Structure 1
Amino acid sequence: MKILVRNLERSVTEAELLELFKPYGTVESAVVVMDAETKKSKGFGFIEMPNPREAIKAIKGLNTLKVKGAGIRVKAAEEKPQA
């Protein structure tokens, strides 16, 4: 299951994002989206968790949690329609 994490403090790294989700179960990937020009975080990222039950626990457990002073928003990512 793909999870969207918004409102990330700009200094949060992919490793820190991974550590946040690890207690909830298996994490396949953690990606912080970067701006192509500035190479700085855009303030959001994606987590991929293979087990939907663990992913839902992570969403419920981490939504609105304060990370580096910013309350993060965590929800299931919506699949992009195929063009």
Structure 2
Amino acid sequence: MKLLVRNLSRATTEQELRTLFAAHGKVTTCNLVLDKETGQSKGFAFVEMPNDIESKSAIKALNQLSVDKSKIRVKYADE
């Protein structure tokens, strides 16, 4: 399942996201979206988890969680 993670702090790294989601199950990909010109985070990312039960658990546990002083939002990505 592909998840959309929004409202990320510009300081949050891809590795931090992978670790955060891995606590809830297997993460196949983690892609922090970066600005092409500056290389800075655009404040959102996509995380893929192959197991539906684990992805639901991650959404329930991580949605509205405060990470790097930002309350993140996690939901299924529109395909």
Task: Name the CA distance, whole Å, in 2 between partners of 1:75 and 1:68.
Answer: 19
Q: What are the superposed Cα offsets for residues 10-54 of structure 1, whole Å, 9 maximum, x if unpaired?
A: 011110000100111100011110001111100000100000110
Task: Name the CA distance, whole Å, in 2 between partners of 1:42 and 1:69.
Answer: 16
Amino acid at match of 1:2: K
Amino acid at match of 1:36: K
Amino acid at match of 1:72: I
In structure 2, the residue matched to 1:4 is 4
In structure 2, the residue matched to 1:64 is 64
In structure 2, the residue matched to 1:43 is 43
**Which structure has the larger Rg?**
1
Task: Name the CA distance, whole Å, in 2 between partners of 1:68 and 1:51.
Answer: 27
Q: State the TM-score, normalized to the length of structure 2.
A: 0.98
SS of 2:47's equivalent in the other structure is strand
Q: How many residues align?
A: 79
RMSD: 0.5
Q: Percent identity?
A: 54
Q: What are the superposed Cα offsets for residues 32-77 of structure 1, whole Å, 9 maximum, x if unpaired?
A: 1000111110000010000011001100110000001100000000
